[in-house]
């Protein structure tokens, strides 16, 4: 696999490299409309893990559902090609980590603004049934004073099997929930714990569970030894609720947001923060839960795109009593950017290039149709062109292609019965399972029997449709016997997929094409290629002589059987069907033999 990154990747032009980590290289890119985006190109050793890429594809599809002005959403992804990449919105500014390290802890009302913005982001993330898994100061950008969550915790999917086998643990321990360190069941409550740890850092300038060796920090987390005495008095109750060791005792993202909205720096007594009794163990509500084998916080060793120049910590000034409504802070002025980016093990934001456009929050969902819907519509159109081509081929070679169409319908039904149910299971539990291949093998015989029975019932319906078309063309249009029979055979093939009962084959084709055509460019190439094939097939069907092998032309068979017929039209039809079955080697199925 090539390690050279071209000047363009798909529809994106790469302007310059802005960072690098263990998962890949990040470039500043330009899309077709001239807007700036961040293009993360996976390293070759990461892209070579096909199982991880498949899981990463499903995770990216889920992340696209997140819509919030406080989340830098995933815009696009191409994970099937030779150089897989993920595209996110480019956010100029500094990370929360860099801001605190350079300027000191945030002031009280900036801290309230940060907590409320992060809670709003987490509510949107959890509403989309996503677990971020990697909340920390270096994954939060400050754009004009408002927090913006970046870098979803998708890197945990990469080489997960290898990590499980070797027992390796990778991550930023100071911001992990206890259940992640214990490698036990992970729920959305892990994000609540990490969010509170991030706010603690913003309020104090230090991690909540201290510094030191990896083992010491992990021990403090699992024992719940947060240094709450270093946090402001008015914030301690809020932090204490969110940093509970027991995940069931932590508030949900929505509850944490409600608590953040009543935070008031003027109230310094600890007991004035609303307290609530620990929540009982919740009943199953469909909240996504990850198995222990997926519990990896971060395999994307974070990168620092630029180190801001450190300046003296400004003297803290006492704020006057708050006005009835908080005034917006002054506009954010980016810190100076170093000449060259450097690589380390912290996640940081993007440097502010010259003349960067201000960040614009993403539009509301109703004004921005989903990319997934466009891919499905494109796949359905390509499937329609394939059906046109198959119908035209049936007109040219009615018997052989018609029999092939029946077999194809059976195969597609089997695939839909097996993999359609597998996709539904993955959506329900939020990921794949090692039992999926075994379930597919065990379910194949029943799926084959079910598909054969449904097709056996559906074929007579398609034959009736073809007979109607033959009668209309023969007696209504004055067409010859052979020509009308050829078009009737095409109608039969069409009926296998469009008549009632043909939904399963259609869904199987759409699902297969959607998994392949993941970019507008791929959909365009497929449309042109298949469209050309369908056009030539239709032209040949209209101009070439019909090939009836391995049967005879219907006119000859009808003439021969008419001479032998003694019982009228019914005898003629039964003799025609019997003759067709014998010529195609299926005479043992004939009830008239």
Pick the more confident residue, 498 or 152. Answer: 498
Catalytic residue among 108, 134, 294, 579: 134
Distance CA(589)–CA(581), nearest Å, equals: 7
85 inside domain: no
Instruction: Tell me what the mean pLDDT of segment 432-453 comes to.
Output: 79
CA distance 376 to 515: 9
- pLDDT tier, 79 (very low <50, low <70, confident <90, very high otherwise): confident
DSSP 48: T
User: 472 pLDDT exceeds 70?
Assistant: yes
Same domain, 435 and 569: no
pLDDT (average), residues 36-41: 87
Q: Of 135-149, 155-169, 309-323, where does mean pLDDT reach its minimum?
A: 155-169
How much of the chain, in percent, has pLDDT values that exceed 90?
24
SS3 1: coil
Q: Is the pLDDT of residue 285 over 50?
A: no
Residue 407 lies in a domain: yes
Asked whether the beta carbons of 90 and 159 are under 8 A apart, the reply is no
Q: Are 138 and 301 in contact (CB under 8 A)?
A: no
pLDDT in tens, 392-416: 999 999 888 989 999 999 999 888 8
Same domain, 525 and 555: no
Per the domain annotation, does 41 fall within a domain?
no
Mean predicted confidence (pLDDT) in 137-160: 71
> Are 188 and 248 found together in one domain?
yes
Tens of pLDDT along 474-531?
A: 888 888 888 888 899 899 999 899 898 888 888 888 878 877 776 777 888 889 999 9
What per-residue confidence (pLDDT) applies to 139? Answer: 85
Q: Which domain holds residue 563?
A: 550-593
Q: Give yes or no for residue 572 having a pLDDT over 70.
A: no
Q: Which pLDDT does position 290 carry in this prediction?
A: 46
- Residue 521's contacts (CB-CB under 8 Å, 6 or more residues apart) are 10, 11
Active site residue 134: yes
Q: Is residue 500 part of a domain?
A: yes
376 and 506 fall within a common domain: yes
SS3 of 25, please? Answer: strand
- Is the residue at 40 inside a domain? no
Count structural domains, the chain. Answer: 3
For residue 133, the model assigns a pLDDT of 80
401 and 531 share a domain? yes
Shared domain check, 171 and 302: yes
Query: Higher-confidence residue: 164 or 253?
Result: 253
Q: Kindly report the CATH number assigned to the domain that includes residue 226.
A: 1.10.510.10
pLDDT at 345: 36
Average pLDDT over residues 331-359: 42
Do residues 587 and 529 share a domain? no
Structure tokens at 418: 């097996």
Question: What is the rounded average pLDDT of the residues 373-394?
Answer: 82
| Structure-token pair, residue 174 | 């100071």
Is residue 535 located within the same domain as residue 418? yes
* Three-class DSSP category at 243: coil
- The whole-chain average pLDDT of the chain stands at 75
* 390 and 433 inside one domain: yes
For residues 127 and 240, membership in a common domain is answered with yes
- Residue 239 belongs to some domain of the structure: yes
CA 569 to chain centre: 58
Per-residue model confidence (pLDDT) at position 390? 92
Work out whether strand 36-42 and strand 146-149 pair parallel, antiparallel, or are unpaired: unpaired
Sheet with strand 12-20: strands edge to edge: 8-9, 12-20, 24-30, 36-42, 85-89, 74-78
Structure confidence by residue, pLDDT tens digits, 314-334 = 555 555 445 445 445 455 444
Q: Is residue 362 over pLDDT 50?
A: no
At residue 424 the predicted structure's pLDDT band, cuts being 50, 70 and 90, is low
340 has pLDDT over 50 = no
Rg over alpha carbons for the chain, rounded to the nearest Å, is 32
Tell me: do 228 and 172 sit in the same domain. yes
Q: Read off the pLDDT of each residue in 529-553 and give the average, rounded to a whole number.
A: 87
The candidate with the shortest Cα–Cα distance to 67, out of 128, 146, 6, is 128
**Which of 76-90, 414-428, 574-588 bottoms out in mean pLDDT, i.e. has the lowest?**
574-588
Residue 317 falls inside a structural domain = no
In a domain, 53, yes or no: no
Query: Once rounded to an integer, what is the mean pLDDT over residues 342-356?
Result: 40
What span, in angstroms and rounded, lies between the C-alpha atoms of 252 and 123?
9
Question: In whole angstroms, what is the distance from residue 330 CA to residue 332 CA?
Answer: 6
Q: Which residue has the higher pLDDT, 224 or 420?
A: 224
Asked if the model's pLDDT at residue 352 lies above 50, the reply is no
Question: What's the pLDDT at 335?
Answer: 44
Tell me the pTM: 0.46
CB contact at 8 A, 7 and 14: yes
Identify each DSSP E strand in 106-201 by its residue range: 140-143, 146-149
Residues 145 and 263 in one domain: yes
Task: Return the percentage of the chain with pLDDT > 70, whole number.
Answer: 67
Q: How far is Cα 509 from Cα 524, in angstroms, rounded to an integer?
A: 17
**41: which strand partners?**
25, 85
């Amino acid at each position: 696999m090539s390690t050279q990154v071209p000047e363009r990747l798909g529809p994106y032009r790469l302007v310059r490299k802005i960072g690098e980590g263990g998962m890949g290289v990040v470039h500043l890119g330009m899309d077709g409309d001239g807007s700036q985006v961040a293009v993360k190109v996976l390293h070759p050793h990461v892209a070579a893990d096909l199982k991880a890429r498949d899981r990463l594809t499903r995770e990216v599809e889920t992340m696209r559902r997140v819509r919030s002005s406080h989340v830098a959403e995933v815009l696009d992804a191409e994970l099937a090609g030779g150089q897989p990449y993920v595209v996110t919105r480019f956010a100029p500014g500094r990370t929360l980590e860099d801001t605190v390290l350079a300027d000191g802890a945030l002031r009280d009302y900036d801290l309230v603004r940060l907590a409320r913005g992060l809670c709003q982001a987490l509510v949107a993330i959890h509403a989309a049934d996503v677990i971020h898994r990697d909340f920390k100061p270096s994954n939060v950008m400050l754009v004009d004073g408002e927090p913006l969550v970046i870098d979803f915790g998708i890197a945990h999917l990469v080489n997960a099997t290898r990590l499980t086998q070797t027992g390796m643990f990778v991550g930023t321990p100071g911001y992990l929930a206890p259940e992640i360190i214990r490698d036990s069941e992970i729920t959305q409550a892990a994000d609540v714990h990490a969010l509170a740890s991030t706010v603690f850092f913003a309020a104090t300038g230090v991690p909540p569970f201290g510094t030191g060796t990896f083992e010491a920090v992990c021990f403090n987390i699992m024992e719940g030894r947060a240094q709450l005495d270093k946090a402001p008095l008015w914030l301690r109750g809020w932090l204490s609720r969110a940093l509970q060791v027991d995940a069931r005792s932590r508030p949900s993202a929505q509850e944490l947001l409600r608590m953040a909205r009543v935070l008031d720096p003027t109230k310094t007594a600890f007991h004035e923060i609303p307290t609530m009794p620990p929540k009982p163990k919740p009943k199953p509500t469909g909240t996504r839960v990850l198995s222990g084998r997926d519990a990896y916080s971060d395999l994307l060793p974070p990168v620092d795109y630029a180190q801001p120049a450190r300046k003296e910590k400004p003297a803290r000034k006492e704020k006057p009593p708050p006005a009835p409504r908080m005034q917006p802070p002054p506009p954010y002025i980016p810190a100076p950017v170093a000449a060259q980016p450097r690589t380390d093990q912290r996640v940081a934001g993007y440097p502010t290039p010259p003349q960067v456009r201000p960040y614009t929050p993403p539009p509301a969902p109703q004004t921005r149709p989903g990319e997934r819907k466009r891919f499905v519509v494109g796949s359905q159109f390509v499937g329609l062109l394939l059906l046109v081509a198959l119908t035209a081929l049936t007109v040219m070679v009615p018997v052989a292609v018609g029999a092939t169409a029946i077999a194809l319908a059976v195969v597609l039904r089997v695939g839909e019965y097996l993999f359609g149910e597998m996709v539904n299971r993955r959506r329900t539990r939020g990921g794949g399972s090692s039992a999926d291949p075994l379930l597919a093998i065990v379910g194949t015989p029943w799926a084959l029997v079910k598909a054969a029975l449904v097709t056996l019932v559906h074929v007579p319906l398609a034959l009736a449709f073809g007979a109607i078309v033959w009668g209309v063309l023969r007696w209504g249009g004055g067409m010859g016997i052979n020509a009308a029979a050829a078009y009737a055979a095409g109608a039969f093939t069409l009926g296998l997929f469009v008549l009632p009962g043909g939904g399963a084959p259609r869904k199987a084709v759409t699902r297969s094409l959607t998994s392949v055509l993941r970019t507008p460019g791929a959909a365009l190439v497929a449309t042109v290629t298949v469209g050309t094939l369908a056009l030539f097939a239709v032209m040949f069907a209209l101009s070439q002589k019909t090939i009836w092998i391995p049967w005879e032309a219907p006119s000859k068979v009808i003439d021969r059987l008419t001479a032998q017929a003694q019982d009228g039209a019914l005898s003629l039809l039964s003799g025609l069907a019997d003759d067709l079955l014998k010529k195609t080697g299926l005479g043992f199925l004939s009830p008239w033999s």
